[in-house]
Amino acid sequence: VSLSPGHSVANLSQAEEAVQHGATFITHLFNAMLPFHHRDPGIVGLLTSDKIPAGRRVFYGMISDGIHTNPAALRIAHRAHPKGLVLVTDAIAGMGLAPGRHTLGQQVVEIDGLNTYIAGTKTLSGSVATMDTCVRHFQEATGCSVETALEAASLHPAQLLGIEHKKGTLNYDSDADFLMLNDNLYVQATYIAGEEVWRQDAFGM
- Top pLDDT among 119 and 2 is at 119
- Looking at the DSSP assignment, which residues form a beta bridge with residue 108? 103
* Domains of the chain: residue spans and CATH: 1-91+129-171 (3.20.20.140), 92-128 (no CATH), 175-204 (no CATH)
CB environment 156-192: b (16+ within 10 A), e (fewer): bbbbbbeebeeebbeeeebeebebebeeebebeeeee
Residues designated as active site: 90
- Looking at the DSSP assignment, which residues form a beta bridge with residue 140? none
Render pLDDT for 61-87 as a digit per residue (tens, 0 to 9).
999 999 999 999 999 999 999 999 999
pLDDT of residue 34: 86
How far, CA to CA in Å, does 122 sit from each of 52, 68, 107? 38, 13, 14
On the CB side of 106, CA atoms within 13 Å amount to: 0
pLDDT of residue 182: 96
Q: Which amino acid, one-letter code, is at 87?
A: L
Query: Are 63 and 28 a contacting pair, CB within 8 Å?
Result: yes
Angle (CA) 84-164-30 rounded to 5° is 25
User: What mean pLDDT comes out for the span 94-121?
Assistant: 93
pLDDT of residue 75: 97
Render pLDDT for 141-192 as a digit per residue (tens, 0 to 9).
999 999 999 999 999 999 999 999 999 999 999 999 999 999 999 999 999 9
pTM equals 0.91
pLDDT band at 35 (very low <50, low <70, confident <90, very high): confident
Q: Alpha-carbon distance 155 to 163, whole Å?
A: 9
Q: What is the mean pLDDT of the chain?
A: 94
Query: Are 115 and 67 a contacting pair, CB within 8 Å?
Result: yes
